[in-house]
């Protein structure tokens, strides 16, 4: 009996092509020059060429496919202008299944990679790079540089400005924040955008107690900020037979505020009455409290 065996193709095998010892040599080389035709030299790397396999690149990128099989089908060397070698190499590494090169890029390089990924239409690279940018670690050392860099990329600046603003609010006091904003080289648009991002980090006050932070379940000492519609409850009510044993069983909605120490409440049982607002040091005394967690509050 002849049995048929199949081997599911897996992209994981492609990563082995990046290693010469795997035995399948590369068939395309990329070299790097600037606008003036000068070779781009990276002092951290001796090998300034990037090698790959045409078929693999053509499978994941329409531009690579056009370059190698339509525009210059007989070429095995391509000159790349005005693109950092590390950024281009990271794109090639991603195609071969290696994300480590992307994770080691600086913010400037990641932003350049977004543009490169869009140009070459590499499947999945824009999304992956954007995720790295959005989770980029903002520190005291790279804060100023990061804020300035992301401003140039409108499609992601809001996300990164939020990260920068969060770091600033968590680690700088008010005077340090003003000093930092002042040192943005007088870039008014940057300063304005940063201030806006920081303001978005401040949550709005509670719609029920009108306070920030929310005063849910805290004693109401007076009615100065109270308005009709405010959800309230009685803590330690002295009529458990009527309202039950629940801590906030007696609750309702303020319908009128007659004075600084008095509110009129429509209670949950359908009745309506005035209630004296006061603050007591005796924790066991009945007290009117904010009920911000109530349904509809």
- Tell me the pLDDT band of 251, cut-offs 50, 70 and 90: very high
Flag whether the pTM goes above 0.85. no
Map residue 231 onto helix, strand or coil. Answer: strand
CA 8 – CA 103 distance, rounded (Å): 30
Q: Which pLDDT does position 284 carry in this prediction?
A: 81
pLDDT at 37 over 60: no
- Tell me the pLDDT band of 265, cut-offs 50, 70 and 90: very high
- Greater model confidence, 66 or 247: 66
Map residue 219 onto helix, strand or coil. Answer: strand
- Greater model confidence, 234 or 170: 234
Q: What are the start-end ranges of the E strands in the chain?
A: 28-33, 50-52, 77-81, 231-235, 250-259, 262-267, 272-276, 287-290
Say if CB 54 and CB 66 are below 8 A apart: no
Based on the number of CB atoms within 10 Å of its own CB, is 288 exposed (0-12), middle (13-18) or buried (19 or more)? buried
Of 15-19, 82-86, 278-282, highest mean pLDDT: 82-86
Token output for 28:
């395309």
- Greater model confidence, 136 or 251: 251
CA 155 to chain centre: 13
- Greater model confidence, 132 or 200: 132
- Tell me the pLDDT band of 171, cut-offs 50, 70 and 90: low
pLDDT at 278 over 50: yes
Token output for 39:
């070779």
């Amino acid at each position: 009996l002849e049995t048929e065996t199949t081997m599911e193709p897996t992209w994981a095998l492609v990563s082995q092509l990046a290693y010469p010892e795997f035995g399948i040599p590369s068939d395309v080389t990329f070299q790097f020059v600037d606008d003036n035709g000068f070779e781009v030299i990276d002092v951290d790397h001796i090998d300034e060429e990037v090698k790959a396999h045409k078929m693999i690149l053509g499978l994941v990128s329409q531009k690579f496919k056009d370059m190698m099989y339509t525009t210059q089908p007989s070429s095995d060397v391509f000159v790349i202008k005005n693109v950092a070698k590390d950024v281009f190499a990271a794109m090639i590494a991603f195609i071969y299944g290696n994300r480590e090169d992307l994770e080691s890029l600086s913010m400037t390089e990641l932003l350049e990679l977004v543009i490169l990924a869009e140009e070459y239409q590499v499947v999945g690279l824009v999304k992956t790079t954007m995720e790295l940018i959005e989770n980029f670690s903002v520190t005291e050392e790279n804060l100023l540089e990061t804020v300035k860099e992301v401003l140039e990329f409108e499609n992601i600046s809001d996300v990164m400005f939020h990260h920068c603003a969060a770091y600033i609010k968590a680690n700088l006091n008010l005077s340090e924040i003003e000093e930092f904003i002042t040192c943005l080289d007088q870039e008014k648009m940057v300063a304005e955008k940063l201030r806006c991002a920081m303001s978005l980090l401040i949550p709005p006050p509670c719609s029920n107690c009108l306070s920030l932070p929310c005063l849910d379940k805290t004693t109401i000492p007076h009615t100065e900020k109270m308005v009709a519609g405010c959800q309230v409850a009685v803590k330690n009510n002295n009529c458990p037979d009527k309202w039950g044993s629940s801590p906030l069983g007696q609750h309702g909605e303020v319908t009128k505020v007659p004075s600084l120490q008095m509110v009129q409440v429509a209670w949950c049982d359908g009745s309506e009455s005035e209630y004296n607002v006061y603050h007591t040091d005796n924790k066991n005394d009945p007290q009117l409290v904010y009920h911000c967690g109530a349904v509809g509050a």
